[in-house]
Amino acid sequence: MANPELNVNYGFAVKVESTAGTYATPTMADDALRLAEEPEVEIGYVLPGGRDGVAVGGYGVPPSAKPLGQYGRVTIATELVGSGAVDTPPRWGRLLQTFMSETINGATNVQYVPAASQKKSLSLLIQHANKQVTIRGAVPESLRMVGSPDEARVIVRATLAGILQASPTEQALESQTFGAQGVTPAPFTGAFTVGATVMVYEEFDLDFGVAARPWRIDRNQASGLLHGIVTQVNPRISFPPEVVALATHDPFVRQTAPQTALAFSQRLGNTATNQYLLEGDHVEYDPAEALPLRSNNGMVYYSPINLRFARPASGTWFRVTSD
């Protein structure tokens, strides 16, 4: 009997496609991301070709038509880590390039800003339990940055989907090289300000608010599918700050005037080439959501507060800076 396949044997590589939908051949040697958890992989058909309900002169149905549109989906978690080098984009930033422009600013930083004109897609390589899965034309269906109260690191969680490039094959895990990734994750520490208020907080969940068509039906293609695109970006951040004097932080007043601009800034990490700055010129306390007061071990928190990044007429809507 063959040995069972071990779930500790996994790797993931990602590469931005020069031509959307054309496989860019990522490798574990040049394009691997260091995963924080075992990936979840799913393979299926968008167009299964079922023939349910076809009359055959009795019970049962005839064999289905040939299925089309084979897709792949993978859910990953990777640590928030800088590139470890000046002027070098972090490798996980490739996930952002499907809906954010990437700008290298001399010897200063690398910045990512949402761009509706961005139509890039990704090629993925997954090796898991001695199987290899390749996906092209992929985009994120979900992308979040999560700081847990129980850890000293931040995790980037993503679900990516696209067109299956080739049938899965047997493949032992190859050696991985984690270039453009610092040795250790950016520590989960740094100032968090809304307006002029420094928030006392211990966790957060930043949802990039991605909506996407990971594959589009195109009967001109042999597979029946065309590469995916991101169709909307609507970032939000959720966090439970400690309750303090209203003179210091009054969320009730801020909620009554969501049109009043409040600058947002959050620093993650404290070492050059392995730190990040999240910022926007206008966040709103969502008036559609109640402000909850909840106790946790004798402390009272607004648990949680949800902020929306409103798009101003000019200035910084939402920006991620690696510096």
Q: Which amino acid, one-letter code, is at 124?
A: L
Task: Give the angle subtended at the CA of 314 by the CAs of 313 and 316, to the nearest 5°.
Answer: 120
Cα separations in angstroms, 63 against 54, 103, 197, 251:
10, 53, 65, 61
Q: Which amino acid, one-letter code, is at 167?
A: S
Percent over 70 (pLDDT), the chain: 97
* Residue-averaged pLDDT of the chain: 94
What CA–CA distance (Å, rounded) separates 82 from 183?
Answer: 9
Q: How does pLDDT run across 14-24, given as a tens digit for each residue?
A: 999 999 999 99
Cβ partners under 8 Å of residue 55, min gap 6: none
Q: How does pLDDT run across 255-297, given as a tens digit for each residue?
A: 999 999 999 999 999 999 999 999 999 999 988 899 999 999 9
Asked if residues 11 and 78 have their Cβ atoms less than 8 Å apart, the reply is: no
Q: Is the pTM of this model over 0.85?
A: yes
Calculate mean pLDDT across residues 217-231: 94
Cα separations in angstroms, 228 against 52, 132, 242, 316:
29, 21, 41, 27
Asked if residues 116 and 192 have their Cβ atoms less than 8 Å apart, the reply is: no
Q: How does pLDDT run across 190-202, given as a tens digit for each residue?
A: 999 999 999 999 9
| CA of residue 307 relative to chain centroid, distance | 18
Q: How does pLDDT run across 36-81, given as a tens digit for each residue?
A: 999 999 999 999 988 877 666 777 778 889 999 999 999 999 999 9
Q: Which amino acid, one-letter code, is at 228?
A: G
Cα separations in angstroms, 83 against 33, 36, 107, 279, 299:
11, 17, 13, 20, 38
Q: Transcribe 41-97 into DSSP letters.
A: EEEEEEE----TT---SSSS-PPPPPPEEEEEEEEEEEE----SSTT---GGGGGGG
SS3 (DSSP) at 188: coil
User: What is the structure's pLDDT at 8?
Assistant: 78
Q: How does pLDDT run across 100-141, given as a tens digit for each residue?
A: 999 999 889 999 999 999 999 999 999 998 999 999 999 999
Residue 196 backbone class (left: φ over 0; alpha: ψ -120 to 50; beta: rest):
alpha
User: What is the structure's pLDDT at 270?
Assistant: 93
Tell whether the model's pLDDT for residue 171 goes beyond 70.
Answer: yes
Reference 273, options 147, 184, 203; nearest CA is 184
Asked if residues 285 and 255 have their Cβ atoms less than 8 Å apart, the reply is: yes
User: What is the structure's pLDDT at 9?
Assistant: 87
Tell whether the model's pLDDT for residue 254 goes beyond 70.
Answer: yes
Give the tokens for residue 206.
Answer: 């930043």
User: What is the structure's pLDDT at 1?
Assistant: 43
Reference 110, options 126, 91, 125, 127; nearest CA is 91
Give me the helices (H) in the chain, please.
28-31, 251-256
Tell whether the model's pLDDT for residue 6 goes beyond 80.
Answer: no
DSSP 98: G
